[in-house]
Structure formats: C-alpha cells, structure tokens
C-alpha cells in the first residue's frame, strides 16, 4: 500500500473523528524542540534522535520539530541536492524513530522532492505528521513563501527561489492531544489561515519555524499569542535557533501558548555568543480549558456571517471511500462512479452522455435551487466545475466545454438537486452548435438518443478521471 493511499485513507477516517470531537479527551503532554540545523544532514538527524528520545522519556505523546529539521543549506545548489521524496531514506528514519519511541512526530519542515506532471523535479517545504506506529497521518505543503527584503534589518530571503508554494489546505488531523492543524513559519502572519483551521475543527495550531533573528525580536511572540487568542486554540511552535551559517541566524524561543494567550512552555531566545542551542520544553494540552474558554467567550458564534465570511477557495479535496454512496435527490450514486469530492460537492460520471466525457457535479447537501446554497457552497461548486472542466477536456482531447445549470423545473431540471453538467466540446460535434441544449434537455427522458450505461462502465471512466485529482 502506497504512502499516498494510506494518507488518503487516514484522512477519510479523520473527517468523522474530528467532527465528533467534544473536547472530552484527557490531558496530553507534548514537547517542542529547538536546535541549530546546518548543512550536515547526518548530524541534524543525530540531534533530532536525541531530542525525541529525551521527550519520550519525559512522557510526551507528541514531539514537535522545527522547520528545516532535515537541513539548512549554505546555497541554492546544495539545498536542491539534499532534498528527498517522502519515501526516501531520511523520512523513513523519522518514521522509524516515531515507531520506536512510541510518539507522534511533527517533522515541521521537510524539503520534499516531488516530480510534477511534466516529470520535472520540484521542492516543497512540507510539514509531515507521523503517528506512533510510524505511519504518515498528515502532509501539508507550505502555502505562504517567505520572499522578504528588509535592508535595515539585514533580512533578504526569497524562499520561492527554491520552493514551490503549496496549493491546498489540509484538514485538522486527529491526534492524542486533539484535532491538530498544520502550518509552517511564515504562515503565522496570515490570520485567515488560522481562522479557517479553527472553523474546520482545530483545537491546536502548529507553526514550526526558522524565524530570522531580526523579525523574531519584533514579532515572534506577539504573533503566536495573537493566533492563540483569536482562535481560542493552543499554539505550538518549535523553532530553529542560532547561527546556521554565515548568512543565516534564527531567533529560537520555541513556544507553547494556551487558548488564553498564556505561554506555558518556552525554550531560550537567541543570544549573541550562544551560537547553538539544543533543548526541549514540555507542556500539557488540556481539552477542558479549550472548552471553558470557548464557552465563556463564544466568539465564533458571534461572528457576523450574514455580513462577512471567510472560506476556502476551490474546496477541500476529500478522499473517496468506494464503500459509501452519495445522494442525488431521490437517486443513489455509487461511490465507484465518483471521481472527485470536496466538502460541499462531488463529481461523478453520467448514466447518459450527450457527448463523450459528459459528467455531473452535485452539491453534497440536497438543495433544489442555487439560491438555497450558502456562499461557501456556491464558491466550492463553481470552482470545482473549473477543475473538473480542465480534467475532462484533457482526458477527451477537447478544446472547449459547455457548462450548464438547469436551475428549476421550468429550466429543464428533472432531478431536484442542484447540479452542473460539464460537456467537453470538439469542432463540429453538432451540425448546429446550440443543438447540444436540445439534446441535453431530452437526454434523461424517454425520447433520449443516448443509451443508458451500466455501473461498471461508469466506474471505469471514474477511475480514469480520478488520476487528475488523486495522484
């Protein structure tokens, strides 16, 4: 079983777990780690093993490593040469370490080597969460890259010169300490991300970091405490410390902050003359405190969603469980015919196709009209349509598409459930271009010219289309 498949399967189970979480878990000890990574990968791993062993001896259930725990290179060429895939040697060392020490391990920033669809190598700054059996439970690619120049502070870094930016949020992962959200360093400066993660069910936010000395002095503690207060979550931030090379110095001060903004665990701040530091700090995550804070000041219930909203653009990809079924008004859609799913909608192959590649996208919630959908559902539905359109055009070598919503009975809607038809188009596929609308209006009636397909044929097509979304 591949790492990706295992991860997707775990995510599928996780959705129900964290939605059902009721802040009733016992207290859980966690550890933050702080050290000075260099371009010596072997030595960095040796330090990581020492820190994790110490944390395990102190009964920590989850151990958090800083960003760039694998290495901090001295130049771009070195950084490229050292990167590894998630099934490489170094990640296997981390997985074995977690399994051996029986701890969950947050590898806060791993230089992940990936081959894209053009067989080209890319590098992502990736936060990997490993459980105490050594299985990967969460993979998050850093969304916000640190491209910043502040001459007066001697800060001049362009993370995008090496790394690609991530393209999606990752739902909170259920852990022994509760639902845990993944982020990395510079993500800390974007409160929209933490608000959405809280809305998705997070009770713990994580910001493994390699904050520069200059920006750390100004903003590090303030930002971390702010994220905790505004989301009413624990904030856990492992950190790099000290002088990595002649060009790079990190601030340190790894922190754990409680939902009221109080620092409950802390490692040293960087000091001149103390160029390296290797330390851990332990704290308890208390789910009852989260519940107390959120009950006494229910700010998320007081948010004015009738006036403003914050939502994920493009939907949150969710793995498909082939054992389940989907509702399409009164009809049942087998999961084997579904090729893409988000929180609010799903795309599936059609039982009658007006043109090859004619597929449907339906909302998860059964609503008859577009006006019955929330703003978040509408956004998800149409951004999903763009993604699906691109995939079917690619698969069926089409140059255009017809997208159609029959919004209500008198518009031709025969299934009283909001859905979008996507029909890939080719030159001269109809003698009269707009004939497609007449054929579409009749395609699911007795006078239809299109034959009914069986589930096996629809499932085979869905399997082909899934490759565009679940590689």
What is the C-alpha separation between 399 and 389, in angstroms, rounded?
11
Weakest mean pLDDT among 13-27, 31-45, 221-235, 391-405:
13-27
Question: Which run of H or E residues covers position 12?
Answer: helix 3-19
pLDDT of residue 315: 60
Question: Helix or strand or coil: residue 41?
Answer: helix
Q: What is the pLDDT of residue 13?
A: 47
Domain co-membership, 145 together with 34: yes
Same domain, 291 and 343: no
Position 8 scores a pLDDT of 46
Domain interval for residue 13? 3-302
Cα within 13 Å of Cα(37), Cβ side: 29
Q: How many domains does the chain have?
A: 2
Same domain as 184, residue 57: yes
Looking at residue 2, its pLDDT comes to: 45
The phi, psi pair for 443, rounded to 5°, reads -65, -25
Residue 22 belongs to domain with CATH number = 3.60.110.10
**Is residue 147 in some structural domain?**
yes
Q: Is 315 left (phi over 0), alpha (psi -120 to 50) or beta?
A: left
Q: 256: closest CA among 208, 195, 190, 184?
A: 208
Question: What mean pLDDT comes out for the span 3-8?
Answer: 44
Rounded to the nearest 10°, the torsion over CA 388, 390, 395, 398 is 120
Q: Is 185 a catalytic residue?
A: yes
Q: Of the listed 111, 419, 421, 443, which one is catalytic?
A: 419
Same domain, 146 and 232: yes
Residue 402, strand partner residues: 423
The pTM assigned to this predicted structure is 0.75
Query: CB-based contacts of 26: which residues, under 8 Å, 6+ apart?
Result: 287
281 lies in the same domain as 187: yes
Indicate whether 349 and 288 sit together in one domain.
no
Residue 320 lies in a domain: no
* Number of helices followed by number of strands (H, E) in the chain: 12, 23
Q: Are 469 and 317 in contact (CB under 8 A)?
A: yes
Q: Decide if 311 is inside a domain.
A: no
**Residue-wise DSSP of 376-393:** HHHHHHHHHHHHHHHHHH
Q: What is the CATH number of the domain that holds 447?
A: 3.30.428.10
Structure tokens at 220: 């590090």
Identified catalytic residue from 11, 41, 101, 142:
142
Neighbours of 114 (CB within 10 A): 15
Take residue 109 and report the two structure tokens written for it: 């920033």
DSSP string, 250-292: EEB--EEE-TTS-EEEE-PBPBTTB----EEEEEEE-HHHHHH
* Confidence band for 6, pLDDT divided at 50, 70 and 90: very low
pLDDT at 16 over 70: no
Active site residue 142: yes
243 and 376 co-located in one domain: no
Please write down the long-range contacts of 241-244, taking CB distance under 8 Å and 24 or more positions apart: 241/34, 241/35, 241/36, 241/267, 241/268, 241/270, 241/276, 241/277, 242/36, 242/270, 242/274, 242/275, 242/276, 242/277, 243/36, 243/275, 243/276, 244/36, 244/37, 244/38, 244/72
If asked whether residues 295 and 370 sit together in one domain, one would say no
CA distance linking residue 302 with residue 182, whole number of Å: 25
Q: Could you tell me the two tokens for 402?
A: 């017809």
- Same domain flag for 298 and 330: no
Look up residue 442 and give its two tokens. 């009749």
Q: Work out whether strand 104-115 and strand 121-130 pair parallel, antiparallel, or are unpaired.
A: antiparallel
Whether residue 409 is predicted with pLDDT greater than 60 in this model: the reply is yes
Q: Which of 248, 269, 302 is the last residue of a domain?
A: 302
314 pLDDT band (50/70/90 cuts)? low
11, 28, 41, 67: the active-site residue: 67
Calpha distance 62→52 (Å, rounded): 9
Q: Are residues 233 and 331 in the same domain?
A: no
44 plus 189 within the same structural domain: yes
pLDDT at 415: 94
67 is catalytic: yes
Residue ending a domain, choose from 302, 334, 359: 302
Instruction: Determine the pLDDT at residue 169.
Output: 87
Res 310: pLDDT: 83
Is 226 domain-assigned? yes
pLDDT value for 390: 95
- Domain annotation covers residue 309: no
Q: With beta carbons less than 8 A apart as the criterion, state whether 367 and 405 touch.
A: no
Chain segment 327-385, per-residue pLDDT in tens: 999 999 999 999 999 989 999 999 999 999 999 999 999 999 999 998 889 989 999 99
Alpha carbon distance 436, 460 (integer Å): 25
Q: What pLDDT digit, counting tens, does each position of 97-144 carry?
A: 999 999 999 999 999 999 876 778 999 999 999 999 999 999 999 999
Q: Write out pLDDT tens, residues 231-264.
A: 999 999 999 999 999 999 999 999 999 999 999 9
Which of residues 268, 302, 336 is at a domain's end? 302
Tell me: the pLDDT tens digits for 412-456? 999 999 999 999 999 999 999 999 998 888 877 666 667 789 999
SS3 at position 150: strand
For the question of residue 266 being annotated catalytic, the response is no
Does residue 11 register a pLDDT over 70? no
pLDDT at 22 over 60: no
What are residue 75's DSSP bridge partners? none
Does residue 197 form part of some domain?
yes
Is 308 contained in some domain? no
Q: Are residues 360 and 428 in the same domain?
A: yes
User: Does position 17 have pLDDT exceeding 70, yes or no?
Assistant: no
Residue 312 counted as domain residue: no
| Confidence check: pLDDT of 69 > 50 | yes
């Amino acid at each position: 079983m591949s790492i990706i498949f295992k991860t997707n399967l775990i995510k599928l189970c996780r959705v129900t777990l964290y939605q059902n979480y009721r802040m009733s878990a016992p207290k859980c000890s966690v550890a933050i780690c702080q050290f000075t990574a260099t371009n010596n990968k072997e030595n960095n791993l040796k330090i990581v093993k020492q820190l994790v062993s110490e944390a395990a001896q102190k009964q920590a259930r989850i151990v958090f490593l800083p960003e760039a725990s694998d290495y901090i290179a001295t130049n771009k060429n070195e950084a490229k040469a050292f990167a590894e895939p998630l099934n490489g040697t170094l990640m296997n060392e981390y997985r074995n370490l977690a399994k051996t020490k029986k701890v969950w391990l947050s590898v806060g920033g791993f230089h992940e080597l990936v081959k894209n669809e053009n067989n080209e190598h890319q590098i992502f700054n990736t936060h990997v969460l490993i459980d105490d059996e050594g299985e990967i439970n969460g993979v998050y690619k850093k969304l916000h890259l640190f491209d910043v120049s502040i001459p007066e502070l001697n800060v001049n870094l362009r993370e995008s010169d090496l790394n690609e930016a991530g393209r999606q949020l990752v739902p909170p992962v259920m852990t022994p300490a509760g639902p845990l959200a993944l982020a990395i360093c510079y993500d800390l400066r974007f409160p929209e991300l933490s608000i959405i993660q809280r809305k998705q069910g997070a009770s713990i936010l994580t910001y493994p970091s390699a904050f520069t000395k200059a920006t750390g002095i100004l903003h590090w503690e303030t930002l971390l405490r702010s994220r905790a207060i505004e989301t009413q979550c624990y904030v856990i931030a492992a950190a790099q410390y000290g002088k990595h090379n002649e060009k790079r110095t990190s601030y340190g001060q790894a922190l754990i902050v409680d939902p009221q903004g109080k620092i409950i665990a802390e490692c040293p701040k960087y000091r001149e003359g103390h160029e390296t530091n290797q330390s851990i700090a332990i704290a308890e995550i208390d789910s009852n405190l989260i519940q107390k804070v959120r009950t006494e000041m229910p700010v998320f219930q007081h948010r004015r969603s009738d006036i403003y909203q914050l939502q994920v653009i493009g939907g949150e990809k969710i793995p498909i469980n082939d054992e389940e079924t989907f509702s399409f008004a009164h009809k049942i859609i087998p999961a084997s015919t579904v090729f893409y799913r988000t929180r609010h909608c799903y795309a599936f192959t059609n039982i009658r196709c007006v043109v090859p590649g004619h597929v449907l996208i339906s909302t998860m919630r059964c609503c008859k009209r577009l006006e019955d959908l929330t703003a978040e559902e509408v956004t998800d539905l149409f951004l999903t349509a763009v993604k699906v359109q691109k995939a079917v055009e690619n698969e069926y070598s089409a140059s255009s598409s017809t997208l159609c919503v029959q919004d209500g009975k008198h518009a031709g809607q025969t299934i009283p459930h909001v859905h979008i038809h996507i029909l890939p188009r080719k030159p001269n596929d109809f003698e009269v271009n707009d004939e497609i609308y007449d054929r579409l209006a009749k395609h699911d009636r007795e006078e239809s010219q299109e034959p009914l397909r069986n589930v096996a044929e629809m499932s085979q097509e869905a399997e082909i289309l899934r490759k565009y979304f679940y590689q």
